[in-house]
Amino acid sequence: MKLSARLVGLGALAALLATSCAPQTSGNTASDKDEKTGTLRVWLFQEVGNAPKEKVVDAVVADFEKAHEGTEVDVEYIPIDTRAQRVKAAFNDPASAPDVMEYGNTDTAGYVKDGGLLDITKEFGDWNEAKNTDPTAKQSVTVDGKFYGAPFYVGVRALYYRTDVFEELGLSVPRTMAELASTAREIRAARPELYGLVVGGAYTYGAMPFVWANGGELATGKGGSYASGIDSPQARKGIKAYTSLFGDDNCPAAKCAGMGGNDTVSAFAAGKAGMAIGGDFSHTAVEAGKVKGKYAVAPLPGVQPGSIAPAFAGGNNIGVLKSTSHRTLAVDLMRRLAGKKTQAQLFDAMGFLPTFTDVRRQAAREEPFVKPFVQTLSAGTRFVPASPAWAQIDSQLVLPTMFQEVISGKKDVAQASEDAAQKMNTAFGSAG
List CB contacts of 51: < 8 A, sequence separation 6 or more.
none
Whole-number Å distance between alpha carbons of 119 and 275: 43
Low-confidence ranges of the chain (pLDDT < 50): 1-27
Between the two ends of the chain, the Cα-to-Cα distance in Å is 46
- What number of other Cβ atoms are within 10 A of residue 128's Cβ? 8
Task: For residue range 310-341, list pLDDT tens digits in order.
Answer: 999 989 999 999 999 999 999 999 999 999 99
Q: What is the CA radius of gyration of the chain?
A: 22
Return the pLDDT at 42. 98
Q: What is the pLDDT of residues 57-96, one digit of tens each?
A: 999 999 999 999 999 999 999 988 778 888 989 999 988 9
Structure confidence at residue 5 (pLDDT): 37
Residues 367 and 6: beta-carbon distance below 8 Å: no
Identity of the amino acid at 431? A
d(CA 167, CA 187): 11
